[in-house]
Every structure is written in C-alpha cells, then in structure tokens.
Amino acid sequence: MSAKLETTFRGDTGQLERRISMREKLTAAYFERERERIFRRAWLPIGHASHLPEPGSYFVRELPVLKTSLLVVRGQDGKVRAFHNACTHRGNKLVRSGAGCRKSFSCGFHGWTFSSEGELKLVTDEHQFRDLDKGALGLRPIHTQVWEDLVFVNGADAPGESLREWLGEMFDEYGGYFEQHERVASLRINVNSNWNLAVNSFTEGYHTLYLHRNSVPDYQGGKINPDRHRPFMQLFKRHHRYSAPANPDHRLTPAEALVIKYGKRIIPAFGGEMPALPPGVNPSRYEHWAFDVVQLYPNAVFLFGNNWHIELFFGPIDVDHTEVVQDLYYYRPKNAGERLSHQFFLSRGRQVFLEDMNTLEAQHAVLSSGILSHLQLSQQEMSLMHHYKVSREMLDE
Ligand code: FES
Ligand SMILES: [Fe+2]
C-alpha cells in the first residue's frame, strides 16, 4: 500500500460545488456580467511600485476587461497614482505604451500637457477656448492603493471595500517578501481561451504528475506522497492558497547540480537553506515544502518560493480570449555564476509554463461546444470549487 498524504484544509469549505456547470459561463452575456459585477468591483494588481523608482516614473498598463488603458505614475510628491490613459481634450491616448520617466505628459494630438500628478498644466492656443475649466480637466483617476510592493486599482465609482478589507487576513502576512526579488523575465501569450479556464490551470497540483512528466518529472511528491496531495490548502473569503509538496527523494540531474553549485535552487525549489520567511509563505510550516500557490481573486495567481516568486495575470479580452502574462522574479544575483544559474531555471520555467498553456485552447473549444456540460472536481481541485463559489457570490450580491 502506498502512503497517502492527507491534505489539511483551513477556512470555510461549505457551499462548494464539486460539479461546475460551464454552459452559461462561456457566453458573451455571462462575460459582461463578470465584467460589471466582478472586475469592476475587485481590487486588481497591475504592477509594482518599485518599477516606478523616481518622481515622474511611469508605465502603461492595458486593462481591456475594464475597457481602459492605465497610466501609472509616481508624482513629484512620491505618491503612486493611476489614471485613465486618455487626454481630456478629445480622448486621444496620452502615452502609447511602455515605461519611462517624464516631468510631464504631452498629448500628441494638440499638445495639451499634464503633470505627473495628473493636473492639466498647459492648453495650447488657450485663448481660442471659451469657458474652459482647466481645474476640472485633469486626467481621470482610478482608485489606487499599494500593498507591500504591489499596485492595485479598483474600477468602481466608490469601492465597497478598502484594499486591506479585500485582502483580509493575508494583508499582514507577507511583510517585506517582494523586496528580496527582482524581475528577471516576462512572458506574454494571447490564448483562445476563457480567463476562468486559464486561471484554473494554475491553481491545482493534480496535473503536475501528468502534464509536466517530461519537463520536471520528480520535483514534487515522491515516495512519501506519490499522488502529490497538497499538504495544506486555505480558503479565504475570496482568495485562496495552498502549499506544494517537495519530493525529498529527488535526485539532482548533473545540470541541476552544476547550477545550484553556482546559484540557489529555483525548480526544484527545495533542499537549500531556508531563510526566515514571512508567516504567509509556507503558512503551515510544512517540512517538505516546495512553494505556495496563491490566487488573488479574480485573475492573479502568484507562486511564492524561497529565493523566487512568479506572478501570473490572466487579462480577459473577451469571453473567448485571454492575455496571459507571466513575470518571474528571482533573488538578486551577486555574480556571473548566479546569473548563469538564473538562465538555466528560466529556460526550465518557460517550458513548464508552455505546457500549462497547452491544454487551454482545446479545453475551451470542447467546453464552449456544449459536449461536456460540467467540470468534475476532486478535493485536490478545491481551489477551482472556491473560485466558482466566489464568482457566484459576486455575481449575485
Ligand atoms: S486630444 Fe489631446 S490635445 Fe487634443
Ligand atoms: Fe502546471
């Protein structure tokens, strides 16, 4: 008889459905309800405050689900703000794309100019306008709050909850975690798949034994946990997290042995020194811990490891299309050996990510055809049950 690791569940597991009806979820009408009832009321992470190092630093972030483009800027007062990236004269896009640092933002159409705090500073040929109230024509702001290093926006006229309320218990559990890492790569893929399916692919470990059998065959589970049951899962009001199990019997391949001689472990993530992690990371302090998976509902999934983390954003474009962005953050390298080691793990990470993306289009095609009316979920897929429960609540509230 093989050993079975029993998952420890924490949180409210009531009201979960094990069979999820997908019929109406892949319709344009349902997507419009998701847009208004979920995405317009949620706090959505859109980037990092540390990517805006000085006054005037900015980046542009497209947010098709809210039908907008955002200009995120650090003002001369040091505060991070986000605005709709739209000139208030006739609605031209103020900054096309990208990132940089500017004292002011001039529109390419007729030259109206805005400060980094969003005020309308200059109207060209101003005396030709009658009754222009420049004070009321600043860039249109969107509610913005920063947690740890993450910038969140909320598209509601008046958000029903503060970001602290929205994040709940997790708010105080990740102090300083993001400061340890820097972004080393960013992958962007548009898939012909609904955003829910894309999120779901990254919030269960059941698939890892099969989908990732060639790329990372024995990096989880092992003899002590052959089915790779998650040791710990926790459901919050909206978000959830679980820990992934390491395989203590994993044998390093020669290439792995070489790169961890010169750098730190990323995939597999375990077996190295374990620094003091904030209480939210490996929250159950599981002995054979590999990394955590955290879904910030609705559409962000973070993998939190020791020495690294990954951020995944699933940007709905419409009911059938999603832009998936994967940003990889590793420990800051101190020498050439650590940089080289980073590259090895980046190429392995890319392969695993592509495998995860690989099922989405086929799955979407089948589920939108109506051949299968429901998803059948295991206890190891409880994160998916919870995701659809939260959606139900937000759509009905
Ligand atoms: S639309 Fe921007 S200045 Fe006219
Ligand atoms: Fe995966």
Using one digit for the tens of pLDDT, what is the confidence trace for 340-394? 999 999 999 999 999 999 999 999 999 999 999 999 999 999 999 999 999 999 9
Same structural domain, 196 and 223: yes
Give nearest CA residue, ligand 1 atom 3. Answer: 110
DSSP states of 274-301 = -----TTSSTT--TTEEEEEEEETTTEE
The number of domains in the chain is 2
Same structural domain, 188 and 108: no
Ligand 1 centroid vs 73 CA: distance in angstroms? 20
Per the prediction, the chain carries an average pLDDT of 96
132 domain residue, yes or no: yes
> What is the rounded distance in angstroms from the CA atom of residue 383 to the CA atom of residue 367?
19
CB within 6 Å of ligand 1 — which residues? 87, 89-90, 92, 107, 109-112
Give nearest CA residue, ligand 1 atom 4. Answer: 110
**Which atom of ligand 1 is closest in space to residue 87's alpha carbon?**
2
Residue of 247, 218, 216 lying closest to 231 (CA atoms)? 247
pLDDT at 274: 76
Domain CATH code at residue 127: 2.102.10.10
Ligand 1 centroid vs 303 CA: distance in angstroms? 42
Tell me the β-bridge partners of 9. 233
**Preceding omega of 333 cis (within 30 degrees of 0):** no
275 domain residue, yes or no: yes
Ligand 1 centroid vs 3 CA: distance in angstroms? 67
Residue 307 lies in domain: 8-37+170-396
DSSP state of 93: B
pLDDT at 276: 86
164 domain residue, yes or no: no
Give nearest CA residue, ligand 1 atom 1. Answer: 90
Whether residue 2 has pLDDT greater than 80: no
Q: Which of 112, 123, 125, 129 to mutate to test the pocket of ligand 1 (most atoms within 8 A of CB)?
A: 112
Same structural domain, 20 and 142: no
pLDDT at 351: 94
Q: Is residue 299 within 8 Å of residue 199, measured between CB atoms?
A: yes
199 domain residue, yes or no: yes
pLDDT-based confidence at residue 4 (cuts at 50, 70, 90):
confident
Same structural domain, 208 and 324: yes
Ligand 2 centroid vs 81 CA: distance in angstroms? 34
Ligand 1 centroid vs 305 CA: distance in angstroms? 46
pLDDT-based confidence at residue 1 (cuts at 50, 70, 90):
very low
Domain boundary residue, one of 159, 188, 221: 159
In the chain, % of residues over pLDDT 70: 99
Ligand 2 centroid vs 193 CA: distance in angstroms? 16
Same structural domain, 238 and 320: yes
Residue of 169, 151, 173, 163 lying closest to 70 (CA atoms)? 151
> What is the rounded distance in angstroms from the CA atom of residue 190 to the CA atom of residue 172?
34
Q: Which of 110, 114, 120, 129 to mutate to test the pocket of ligand 1 (most atoms within 8 A of CB)?
A: 110
Domain boundary residue, one of 159, 192, 225: 159
Residue of 92, 99, 54, 90 lying closest to 72 (CA atoms)? 99
Ligand 2 centroid vs 354 CA: distance in angstroms? 9
**Which atom of ligand 1 is closest in space to residue 124's alpha carbon?**
3
3 domain residue, yes or no: no
In the chain, % of residues over pLDDT 90: 96
2 domain residue, yes or no: no
Distances (CA, A) of 72 to 151, 178, 182, 211, 266: 9, 19, 19, 38, 31
Question: Look-up: residue for tokens 């004292």?
Answer: 103
pTM, to two decimals:
0.96
pLDDT at 3: 64
Instruction: Give pLDDT tens digits for 91-144.
Output: 999 999 999 999 999 999 999 999 999 999 999 999 999 999 999 999 999 999
Instruction: Give pLDDT tens digits for 64-102.
Output: 999 999 999 999 999 999 999 999 999 999 999 999 999
**Which atom of ligand 1 is closest in space to residue 107's alpha carbon?**
2
* N-terminal to C-terminal alpha carbon distance within the chain: 47
Same structural domain, 271 and 153: no
Tell me the β-bridge partners of 99. 59
Mean pLDDT, residues 18-28: 95
- What beta strand segments (E) does 43-180 contain? 43-48, 57-63, 68-74, 80-84, 99-101, 104-106, 113-115, 120-122, 141-147, 150-154
For residue 271, count CB atoms less than 10 angstroms from its CB and return exposed for 0-12, middle for 13-18, buried for 19 or more: middle
Same structural domain, 23 and 99: no
Q: What are phi and psi of 344, to 5 degrees?
A: -60, -50
Same structural domain, 226 and 104: no
Same structural domain, 146 and 248: no
Q: Is residue 309 within 8 Å of residue 181, measured between CB atoms?
A: yes
Same structural domain, 155 and 218: no
